[in-house]
Chains A and B, each alone.
Chain A
Amino acid sequence: RKEVEQDPGPFNVPEGATVAFNCTYSNSASQSFFWYRQDCRKEPKLLMSVYSSGNEDGRFTAQLNRASQYISLLIRDSKLSDSATYLCVVSGGSYIPTFGRGTSLIVHP
């Protein structure tokens, strides 16, 4: 079982829709959680960190469920520019982070 698992998608949604992705992790000792965004043929960029209490940044909301070992990303009012691959990243006490394979989002007019 891979340490960090994501549904590869693609999630195909119309503009204005709300879409949610989940990411499950296997290491219960994991301490840090992030969502990165990667545009086609570009480098990954940090979208947001994920905190135990949940956090929001504009249209994006991230949540952590330690009991069930998953993190989620909710995007409200989807824009065409949200089309990208969303990578879940989990790290434990050491430096070595583990990346999920990514979830592809396509927002269409």
Chain B
Amino acid sequence: NAGVTQTPKFQVLKTGQSMTLQCAQDMNHEYMSWYRQDPGMGLRLIHYSVGAGITDQGEVPNGYNVSRSTTEDFPLRLLSAAPSQTSVYFCASSYSAGPEQFFGPGTRLTVL
């Protein structure tokens, strides 16, 4: 049981490049989320999904896209990277709303 996995662990992009951050969970959780964590800002919700085929925006969705074609996978796409997207990105999953969220190890992204 691997829990929540994220790839890559580190990434450096140039402004304007696109990329996809991968997230997968093997706990059969319905709920999955993407957060970004910046110094002094805490964790902020980017997008979330309450099940396969269903996604919704969180607090800071601009510049990011998501899709949820399977229960296991929830990729986050950066369409045109900007320096303001330099951050640590965490994916999380939970059985349902409210109770414990399980976080992946994070992806450290730098946009030059």
Please tell me if A14 contacts chain B, counting CB pairs below 8 Å: no
Assess whether A102 is in contact with B58, with CB atoms less than 8 Å apart: no
Please tell me if B103 contacts chain A, counting CB pairs below 8 Å: yes
Q: CA separation between A43 and B6, bound complex, in Å?
A: 11
Please tell me if B90 contacts chain A, counting CB pairs below 8 Å: yes
Chain A contacts for B48, CB-based, 8 A? 95-96
CB within 8 Å of B: which of A33-60? Answer: 34, 42-46, 49
Assess whether A101 is in contact with B42, with CB atoms less than 8 Å apart: yes
Q: Which residues of A contact B (CB under 8 A)?
A: 8, 31-32, 34, 42-46, 49, 87, 91, 94-97, 99-102
Stretch at the interface among B12-20, B67-75, B78-86, B94-102: B94-102
Chain B interface residue count, CB cutoff 8 Å, equals 22
Q: Quick one: which of A32, A43, A44 has the most chain B CB within 10 A? A: A43
- Pick the contact of B98 from A8, A31, A101 — CB < 8 Å? A31
A-B contact sample (9 more), CB < 8 A, given A43-B90, A45-B103, A99-B42: A44-B43, A46-B100, A49-B99, A87-B42, A95-B48, A96-B45, A96-B58, A97-B45, A102-B42
Assess whether A95 is in contact with B43, with CB atoms less than 8 Å apart: no
Closest to B39 in A: A101
Q: Nearest-CB distance from B109 to chain A (Å)? A: 14
Can you give 24 A-B contacts (C-beta < 8 A)? A8-B40, A32-B98, A32-B99, A42-B105, A42-B106, A43-B90, A43-B104, A43-B105, A43-B106, A44-B103, A45-B103, A46-B100, A87-B43, A91-B98, A94-B97, A95-B50, A95-B97, A95-B98, A97-B45, A99-B35, A99-B42, A99-B43, A100-B42, A101-B40
Q: CA separation between A20 and B60, bound complex, in Å?
A: 31
Q: CA separation between A32 and B101, bound complex, in Å?
A: 13
Chain B contacts for A101, CB-based, 8 A? 40-42
Please tell me if B34 contacts chain A, counting CB pairs below 8 Å: no
Q: Quick one: which of A8, A44, A45, A91 has the most chain B CB within 10 A? A: A44
Q: CA separation between A102 and B55, bound complex, in Å?
A: 28
Chain B contacts for A99, CB-based, 8 A? 35, 42-44
